[in-house]
C-alpha cells in the first residue's frame, strides 16, 4: 500500500547555539537552539528569570548575541508586555499609520492598510479614538494591528497578557491564534500563564539558559509545574 508523505512546513525562525549575557561572567542564554515552522503559533515558557524575554528580543534583533546564529523571515512585528512602550501617536489610526512611514505608500494605501489592520483585530470602530482612552486589551490589539498593517511575516509577543484580566487575556491569545492561521503569519508568544498553552501549536521549555524540551504545549506545561514543585 502506498503511503503519502506529510510535508513539513519550512522553518521561519532558526536559532543555533545562541549565547548572550549582559556581563561575560553571567550569561543569560547559553547554547540555545530552536526552530519555528512557518505559519505556526509557538510559545516560550519557563521559570521567572530563565531568559524568555531576552531570547525573544534576540530573535527580534533588539539585542545582539555574543555567539550563535539567527535566521528569520521578515518583516518582523514585536509586541511588548506594556503597550504604552510602543504606542507613540495620539490616535489609533495615526499610530498604525506611523509604522508605515518607511514604506513610502500613498495616503490612500496607508488608509487602506490601517483599516484592514483594525478590522483584523476587531477594532475598526475605534479608528479615531485617542490612545489614552483605550483599555489595556485594546492597546495590545492596536500594537498587533501595527504589525498586521506592515504585513509582517513574523509576530513576536513578549507576555502581552501580563497586565490583562483573565477574560481579556483569553480573548487576546485567541485573536492572535486566529490571525496566525488566517494570514499565514508565524507567531512566537512568551507566556507565564499555562492556560494560554491550549492555543499553541507547539512550545519551548526554557531553563538553565537553553531549550530543555520542545513539542506538545500541554505536556511541557505539566513538566514546568513539576520543575516548580521540586524547587519548593
With cut-offs at 50, 70 and 90, classify the pLDDT of residue 2.
very low
pLDDT tens-place string over residues 154-181: 999 999 999 899 899 999 999 999 999 9
With cut-offs at 50, 70 and 90, classify the pLDDT of residue 24.
confident
Q: What is the pTM of this model?
A: 0.92
Q: Is 70 exposed, middle or buried (0-12, 13-18, 19+ CB in 10 A)?
A: middle
- The neighbour count for residue 112, using CB atoms within 10 Å, is 13
pLDDT for 4: 42
CATH assignment, 37-74+153-232 = 3.40.50.300
Beta strands in 28-151 (DSSP E): 29-37, 41-45, 67-72, 76-79
C-alpha R_g of the chain:
18
78-103: average pLDDT: 94
pLDDT for 6: 47
pLDDT tens-place string over residues 101-138: 999 999 999 999 999 999 999 999 999 999 999 999 99
As annotated, the residues of the chain forming the CATH 3.40.50.300 domain(s) are: 37-74+153-232
Going by their DSSP bridges, the two strands 41-45 and 202-207 should be labelled as parallel
Amino acid at each position: 500500500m502506498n503511503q503519502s508523505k506529510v510535508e513539513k512546513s519550512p522553518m521561519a525562525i532558526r536559532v543555533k547555539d545562541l549565547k548572550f549575557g549582559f556581563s561575560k561572567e553571567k550569561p543569560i542564554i547559553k547554547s540555545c537552539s530552536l526552530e519555528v515552522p512557518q505559519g505556526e503559533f509557538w510559545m516560550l515558557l519557563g521559570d521567572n528569570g530563565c531568559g524568555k524575554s531576552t531570547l525573544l528580543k534576540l530573535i527580534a534583533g533588539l539585542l545582539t548575541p555574543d555567539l550563535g546564529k539567527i535566521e528569520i523571515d521578515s518583516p518582523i512585528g514585536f509586541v511588548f508586555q506594556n503597550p504604552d512602550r510602543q504606542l507613540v501617536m495620539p490616535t489609533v489610526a495615526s499610530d498604525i499609520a506611523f509604522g508605515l512611514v518607511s514604506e513610502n505608500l500613498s495616503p490612500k494605501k496607508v488608509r487602506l492598510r490601517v483599516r484592514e489592520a483594525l478590522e483584523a483585530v476587531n477594532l475598526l470602530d475605534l479608528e479615531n479614538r485617542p490612545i489614552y482612552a483605550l483599555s489595556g486589551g485594546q492597546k495590545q490589539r492596536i500594537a498587533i494591528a501595527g504589525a498586521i498593517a506592515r504585513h509582517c511575516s513574523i509576530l513576536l509577543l513578549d507576555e502581552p497578557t501580563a497586565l490583562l484580566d483573565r477574560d481579556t487575556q483569553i480573548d487576546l491569545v485567541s485573536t492572535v491564534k486566529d490571525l496566525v492561521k488566517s494570514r499565514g503569519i508565524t507567531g512566537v508568544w512568551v507566556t507565564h500563564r499555562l492556560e494560554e498553552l491550549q492555543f499553541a501549536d507547539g512550545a519551548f521549555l526554557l531553563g538553565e539558559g537553553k531549550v530543555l524540551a520542545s513539542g506538545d504545549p500541554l505536556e511541557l506545561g505539566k513538566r514546568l509545574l513539576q520543575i516548580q514543585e521540586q524547587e519548593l
